[in-house]
Amino acid sequence: MKVTILASGSKGNCTLIETEKNKILIDVGLTYKLLKYRLNEVNVDIDEIDAIFITHEHIDHIKGLEVLIKKHQIHIVLSRGTYEGIVAKKKISLTYEYFNLIQSDEEITLESVKIKPFLVSHDALEPFGYILNEDDKKVVYLTDSGYISQVNEEKIKNADVYIMEANHNIEMLMCTNRPWRLKQRILGDCGHLCNEDALNTLLRVVNDRTKAIYLAHISEEANNVDLLLLAVKDIFSKSNYNENIKFIVAQQYAISESSEI
């Protein structure tokens, strides 16, 4: 499998997963024009995409969906709650025939790859993370979650690649000009993971097979790359983890480095 994050952050999220026989997107939070441009930058035509897996209905994850389904017949896989949330906001047409509604822990097979959704803790109607398996390779996608339960920790253990939210530094968040109510939302169980919570979770779930960790959905106002990498060094240096793990900070305005396993 090959993992490429096309964009990650509060202004738009989209990840490309390429397997032996399939090309899959997780979320389409970019405009249709920008999505096509970034796919072209990695030599993928949008008509090669077999399916799009949506995590939840917030605009930074579905921005380009309405235009995309008018132009292409691509299967869209999502929870019933996410579907209803999108329709309620009138972001898509009710008549699109390629929506595939799935339940948490319901495994989907696309030729060479198996994809299993799991519920995460976010202020959306039925938000999902995803686990992708091809042969003995495993990729975990987990963003937009206020905390990670022990049940989910067990599910995501021992992956080759992680895309994990590390949204904010708590002190930086509290110093922003954001309203107190928004700060409370971000810090809450249905908000976003702070750097320390994300990294401590990763420390518990990685093993010797883990090759790469993408630190994703980075806040532009309440985080920065240097601070995040210092936290990585501080937390992981205290444990006998696999020192060959590559940490990649996913970017909002550029395509992140690909990882192939």
pTM: 0.95
Write phi, then psi, for 113 (nearest 5 degrees): -125, 145
Looking at domain 2-255, which of 3.40.50.300, 3.90.1150.10, 3.30.565.10, 3.60.15.10 is its CATH number? 3.60.15.10
Q: Is the pLDDT of residue 89 over 80?
A: no
Residues 3/17, Cβ–Cβ less than 8 Å: yes
Q: What are phi and psi of 224, to 5 degrees?
A: -155, 160
Residue type, 33: K
Domain ranges across the chain? 2-255
Question: Is residue 94's pLDDT more than 70?
Answer: no
Give just the sign of the alpha carbon dihedral 78, 15, 172, 198: positive
Q: What is the pLDDT of residues 6-62, one digit of tens each?
A: 999 999 999 999 998 999 999 999 999 999 999 999 999 999 999 999 999 999 999
pLDDT for position 241: 72
Radius of gyration of the chain, Cα coordinates, nearest whole angstrom: 17
What's the pLDDT tens digit per position in 184-227? 999 999 999 999 999 999 999 999 999 999 999 999 999 999 99
